[in-house]
């Protein structure tokens, strides 16, 4: 496991890499999925606010649906239920057939629970996470994410930091309220970051940015 820190806005982002291969080459059956879920749960709770847990599939050759649902479907559901405040999780995979097969079962599990996960190529994360986030071809979302939310996510990922007003202009929307609902949902799913800032005229506003 490795960790690195980089500045983002006024906070410190800690990115922790964890290999799922340490749990074995063949990940199957719900009891084993529960054990991994509990391990990852403990990992997330140990991380300071603002941290990202990057799960790498290197070393894993097979994963069945029961394992995927218990380990990932359940964990992402708990994350969307705000059980891990200001913590984020990203899946890092290769572009080989094995990696894509592993993602298929995870995606079905996420779809069944109506949640979503951000997936980034392993080489892009290791090279330059921020650059990878800006390149739409370098990330994808698996699970359930309606097209209007995906469009909003793209707009956030392309910028260092955006406000609802910025997004309204970028997406050519008529309603700031509708836009606010979009990014609020993305943040609930832990697909974007949200930080509050004080504005000069008084009060505060939320700024949104990429998870990685």
pLDDT, one tens digit for every residue, the chain (212 residues): 334 433 334 455 689 999 999 999 999 999 999 999 999 999 999 999 999 999 999 899 999 999 999 999 999 999 999 999 999 999 999 888 998 999 999 999 999 999 999 999 988 766 555 555 555 558 999 999 999 999 999 999 988 789 999 999 999 999 899 999 999 999 999 999 999 877 776 677 889 999 98
For residue 189, give the DSSP letter: T
Contact indicator for 176, 164 with CB cutoff of 8 Å: yes
Cα–Cα dist 21/96, whole Å = 16
Domain interval for residue 16: 2-210
pTM of the model: 0.85
* Domain count within the chain: 1
In this structure, the number of other CB atoms found within 10 A of the CB of residue 102 comes to 22
The candidate with the shortest Cα–Cα distance to 39, out of 51, 23, 28, is 23
The candidate with the shortest Cα–Cα distance to 125, out of 116, 115, 135, 111, is 135
What's 49's domain CATH number? 1.10.10.10
Helix (H) or strand (E) holding 171: helix 164-171
């Amino acid at each position: 496991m490795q960790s690195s820190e980089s500045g983002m806005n006024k906070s410190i982002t800690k990115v922790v890499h964890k290999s799922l291969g340490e749990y074995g080459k063949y990940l199957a059956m719900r009891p084993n999925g529960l054990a991994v879920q509990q391990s990852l749960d403990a990992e997330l709770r140990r991380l300071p606010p603002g941290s990202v847990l990057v799960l790498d599939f290197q070393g894993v050759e097979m994963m069945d649906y029961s394992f995927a649902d218990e380990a990932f479907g359940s964990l992402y559901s708990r994350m969307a239920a705000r059980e891990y405040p200001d913590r984020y999780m990203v899946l890092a995979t290769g572009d080989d057939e094995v990696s894509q097969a592993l993602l298929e079962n995870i995606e079905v599990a996420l779809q069944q629970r109506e949640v979503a996960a951000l997936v980034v190529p392993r080489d892009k994360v290791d090279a330059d996470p921020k650059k990878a986030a800006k390149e739409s071809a370098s990330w994808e979302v698996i699970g359930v994410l309606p097209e209007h939310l995906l469009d909003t996510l793209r707009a956030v990922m392309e910028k260092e930091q955006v406000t609802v007003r910025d997004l309204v202009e970028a997406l050519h929307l008529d309603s700031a309220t509708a836009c606010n609902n979009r990014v609020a949902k993305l943040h609930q799913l832990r697909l974007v970051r949200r930080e509050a800032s004080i504005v000069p005229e008084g009060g505060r506003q939320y700024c949104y940015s990429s998870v990685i």
